[in-house]
Chains A and B, each alone.
Chain A
Amino acid sequence: QVQLQESGPGLVKPSETLSLTCTVSGGSISSYYWSWIRQPPGKGLEWIGYIYYSGSTNYNPSLKSRVTISVDTSKNQFSLKLSSVTAADTAVYYCARGLGVTAIPVGYWGQGTLVTVSS
């Protein structure tokens, strides 16, 4: 059973870059789409973007100018970078995988990691 685990700083200063890594275990990162989704405290889900194992990406247009998602197949990991963060970027960040060979529906989720943007 594939498992995903987010890791990274829980506190980021305003204007800095948020960086998270998702480690995939129980399966290969190859042949699948890998996503980042976030959820501000007490609010709903927001798709950030996804990457195919080959490296092709698709980002939420509202975040596109600040987002970079990359993949490291040798480490079975993929990563998120979100630049110029503000308090509005405070959220639980989930890494995820499609149920099958498409990006959605999302069939596998990490447990999520809370990232707070504050000085």
Chain B
Amino acid sequence: QSVLTQPPSVSGAPGQRVTISCTGSSSNIGAGYDVHWYQQLPGTAPKLLIYGNSNRPSGVPDRFSGSKSGTSASLAITGLQAEDEADYYCQSYDSSLSGNWVFGGGTKLTVL
């Protein structure tokens, strides 16, 4: 059971918009800690997609965006492409676990 809750799977057709939620609590996201998102393509290491809730590292397309509100965060992907099919993970800090980073359980995005 992950501290941050993500839907196991989401899907969408090419060109569509999908969102992936990341639900936490008052000891992590709700406490104001930043949320970061990673994309993991099959058989590869994760890659930083969004940091500090809504910032994109250099090279990440603006089709990817992040937001945070209350105890939750969301990753939105617009103009869905086949190469977006991957696992997505959110990450934050949890103050109740002695300085522990926490990851969401991951969401598998399927492009139909």
Binding site for B on A (CB under 8 A): 44-47, 58, 60-61, 94, 99, 103-107, 109-112
Contacts and interface: CB of A to CB of B under 8 A. Distances in A.
9 smallest beta-carbon distances between A and B, as pairs: A105-B36, A109-B45, A105-B51, A47-B101, A44-B106, A45-B103, A44-B105, A61-B98, A112-B45
24 contacts: A44-B104, A45-B89, A45-B91, A46-B103, A47-B101, A47-B102, A47-B103, A60-B100, A61-B98, A94-B46, A99-B48, A99-B51, A99-B57, A104-B36, A104-B91, A104-B101, A105-B34, A106-B38, A106-B46, A107-B48, A107-B57, A110-B45, A111-B44, A111-B45
Nearest to B102: A47
Contacts, number: 54
A58 B52 CA distance: 21
B65 to A, nearest CB: 16
A73 B47 CA distance: 26
Contacts of A60: 100-101
Nearest to B103: A45
- Would you call the interface of chain A mostly helix, strand, loop, or mixed? loop
Given A46-B103, A58-B99, A61-B97, A109 B36 contact: no
Interface string B20-59: 0000000000000010101000001111100110000100
Chain B: interface residue count, which band? 20 to 34
Contacts of A61: 97-98, 100
A106 B89 contact: no
A52 B75 CA distance: 30
Contacts of B57: 99, 107
Given A99-B51, A99-B57, A105-B36, A94 B104 contact: no
Nearest to B37: A105
Nearest to B51: A105
A94 B93 CA distance: 19
A10 B47 CA distance: 23
